[in-house]
Structure 1
Amino acid sequence: MANIREIAKLAGVSVSTVSRVLNNHPYVSEQKRAEVMRIIQERNYVQNSNAVHLSTGKTMVVGVTLPLVNNQYYSSIIEGIAGEAARHQYNLMVCQTNNSAEQEQSILRLLKNKKMDGLIMCSRANGCETIDEYAQYGPIITCEANEAVFVSSVHIDHYQTFRIGMEYLLGKGHRKIGYCIGRKNSFNSQHRKRAYHDMLQSAGVTPAPEWAFENCLTVQDGKDIAHRIWQMNERPSALIVSCNHIAAGIVKEAGRLGLRVPEDLAIVGCDDQPVGELLEITTVSSPSSLMGKYAFEMLYDRIVHQHKEKEERELPPLLVERGTT
């Protein structure tokens, strides 16, 4: 297989010109670029990524951690990340952690060992102290608010999101309100629960523990919640749900069981997944794809300019009223 020096000799150009063509840099004439690319294809030349890493100090790889790949909320974030990564000619290393702190640390060690130029964490299982330890090896951005010293974030205020949803349901006259969230002890879930309890307290309402549904991650979990509510002697009149794909499971199964939405059970979801619009789910919308876009922009800026200062960018939620309320 040909090497870069042979390509340069055959094309009648310098090695640096071939390198600029390979890395899609400007300042190469179209004629020379076309000739170099022709010879590369003829000789089946493959660029040595290890050599590029040594010469530039960059892997051109960004890591992305998320608890589950098969989750529409995280898929929307990755969509935003991927669009910006492609624009800057970066490759993504997408890593599923299964909410395991140990698995997450194994990915953080890849950053420490210079296998990636930076890391975007859609969610995290480790504490801020642990994440801060690894930030010295490369920039880390979280897609949730954090209390770390050196780790920046692009995030949605999940307290405010649930507060808006609760305020809306209370304004519609509901007092028997339940909630549905993901991991019960996650950073985001803690803020959601606090908003739920604060809003009920402000209305003089005591929350019912049996209407608190936690560790809900999938459409099937939503269906299971509908069954649990259907079997209750005293049912909630409304639910606020952390993600629309779970709300969709509740809506569809409630209809099958004969629970009318919104007459018997009003539902408010929280994100911008297309299924919310498809099933006419009232939603406190949060721009997750845009969050991914901004997260990569923030990370790329730190890779290129080596910024160390912590930055926090918060995206505002918006209530979209539809048919489930």
Structure 2
Amino acid sequence: MANIKEIARMAGVSVTTVSRVLNRHPYVSEDKRVAVLEAVRKLDYVPNLNAIHLIKGKTSMIAVVLPYVDNPYWSSPVEGILSEANRRGYRVVLCQTNYRAEEELKVLEMLRMKQVDGVIITSRTNAWDAIKPYLAHGPIVVCEDAGDEPLSCAYIDHYRSFETGLRYLTSQGHRHIACCIGRRNSNTSLARERAVREALVAVQEPLRPEWMFYDALSMEAGVEVAHRLTGMNPRPTAVLTGTHQTAAGLVAEARKLGLRVSDDLAVIGFDNHMLGQLLEITAVEQSNKDVGRAAFQMLYRYIAEDRYEAEKQELPVRLVERSTV
């Protein structure tokens, strides 16, 4: 197998120059760079990545924790992470946990074992106290508000985003409002529940538990909610959903069931995804892709500078008015 000394000999340059070219160092003349790359091609040189990682103390690889790989709600931040990682020459290992705490810890063990340079957690299962000890082994960024915990985070304020949608519905005269939420007792769901309670108190309406739909983040869940609504008496006049998929499934199925959207049932979606745009769904725009981008940018900076200082970056939300309210 060829080595850099053979490349240097064939290219007529020093070993140092070969090393600079292979590491994309900017201060190499164009003719020497071309000569080195030509020698690399002729000798069919393949770098020993394990040796490089050992020398640099870096793997140029990160792990991303997500609950499900087949749900667009979670693939959206991953898309943002991948776009930034590709730009920086980093590889990404996607680790699906299915919300199992032990699977999440296995990924953090990869950080402890120096198999990756850092970890991004898009949605966590473990308590903060189980995650924090791993900061001693490398940087971790989470895609939720970490509060006072010593973890960096890029996130959307889910209380504020739900409040934005609820305020708009009540301003349009709606008082009987149903909500589609995620996992019961997750931080995101608790923030959204708090927004619902406070919005209903403001218009002197009670919180009806039967109008709170949990684990409703998919298109299939939206279809199911539409059927459940038709059997209710009294029935909500509006639904605030937590994802664009839920809103799309709900709107499409409600129309099949003979409900007039927005006259009989108003619907607000989230994310302002292309699917929601095609169905003209009013939405709270929040970019999970931008959350992913911001999370990787933080992580990359910590890796490059070999330091970690907890910071928070909140991404903005806004209401996009269309035809479903």
Structure 1 distance, partners of 2:100, 2:147, is 20
Structure 2 distance, partners of 1:11, 1:124, is 51
Note the C-alpha offset of 1:306. 2.6
> Secondary structure at 1:59's aligned position in 2?
coil
Structure 2 distance, partners of 1:233, 1:129, is 45
Structure 1 distance, partners of 2:217, 2:161, is 18
Counterpart in 1 of 2:52? 52
Note the C-alpha offset of 1:315. 1.3
Q: Which amino acid aligns with 1:315?
A: L
> Secondary structure at 1:267's aligned position in 2?
strand
Structure 1 runs not aligned, ≥5 long: none
Counterpart in 2 of 1:93? 93
Structure 2 distance, partners of 1:165, 1:2, is 62
Counterpart in 2 of 1:305? 305
Is residue 210 of structure 2 the alignment partner of residue 219 of structure 1? no
Counterpart in 2 of 1:22? 22
> Secondary structure at 2:94's aligned position in 1?
strand
Counterpart in 2 of 1:33? 33
**Greater mean deviation of Cα atoms: 155-164 or 296-305:** 296-305
CA contact (8 A) 1:72 1:273 kept: no
Note the C-alpha offset of 1:264. 1.2
> Secondary structure at 2:169's aligned position in 1?
helix
Alignment map for 1:93-172 (pairs within 5 Å): 93-147=93-147, 149-172=149-172
CA contact (8 A) 1:131 1:148 kept: no
Structure 2 distance, partners of 1:230, 1:25, is 65
Counterpart in 2 of 1:274? 274
Structure 2 distance, partners of 1:23, 1:274, is 40
TM-score normalised by the chain length of structure 2? 0.96
Residue 148 to residue 9, structure 1, CA distance change in 2 (3 Å): farther
**Greater mean deviation of Cα atoms: 135-144 or 33-42:** 33-42
Note the C-alpha offset of 1:136. 1.3
Deviations 1:69-111 (A, max 9, x none): 1222222212221222122111111111111111110001001
**Greater mean deviation of Cα atoms: 133-142 or 304-313:** 304-313
CA contact (8 A) 1:128 1:147 kept: no
Deviations 1:151-182 (A, max 9, x none): 10011100000011111111111111010011
CA contact (8 A) 2:218 2:243 kept: no
Structure 2 distance, partners of 1:39, 1:230, is 71
Structure 1 distance, partners of 2:88, 2:25, is 12
Residue 148 to residue 119, structure 1, CA distance change in 2 (3 Å): farther
Note the C-alpha offset of 1:148. 5.8
Counterpart in 2 of 1:192? 192
CA contact (8 A) 1:135 1:150 kept: no
CA contact (8 A) 1:241 1:267 kept: yes
Note the C-alpha offset of 1:238. 0.5
CA contact (8 A) 2:21 2:28 kept: yes
Structure 2 runs not aligned, ≥5 long: none
Counterpart in 2 of 1:234? 234
Q: Which amino acid aligns with 1:323?
A: S
Q: Which amino acid aligns with 2:42?
A: E
Deviations 1:248-284 (A, max 9, x none): 1111111111121111111111223221211111111
CA contact (8 A) 2:217 2:242 kept: no
Deviations 1:128-147 (A, max 9, x none): 11111111111111111114
Structure 2 distance, partners of 1:217, 1:54, is 43
Note the C-alpha offset of 1:314. 0.8
CA contact (8 A) 2:180 2:217 kept: no
Q: Which amino acid aligns with 2:175?
A: R
Residue 272 to residue 45, structure 1, CA distance change in 2 (3 Å): farther
TM-score normalised by the chain length of structure 1? 0.96
Structure 1 distance, partners of 2:314, 2:126, is 22
Q: What's the % identity of the aligned pairs?
A: 47
> Secondary structure at 2:63's aligned position in 1?
strand
How many pairs align? 325
Structure 2 distance, partners of 1:174, 1:34, is 68
CA contact (8 A) 1:62 1:92 kept: yes
**Greater mean deviation of Cα atoms: 104-113 or 202-211:** 202-211
Q: Which amino acid aligns with 1:264?
A: D
Counterpart in 1 of 2:78? 78
Structure 2 distance, partners of 1:261, 1:155, is 31
Structure 2 distance, partners of 1:198, 1:256, is 33
What is the aligned-residue RMSD (CA, Å)?
A: 1.4
CA contact (8 A) 1:99 1:124 kept: yes
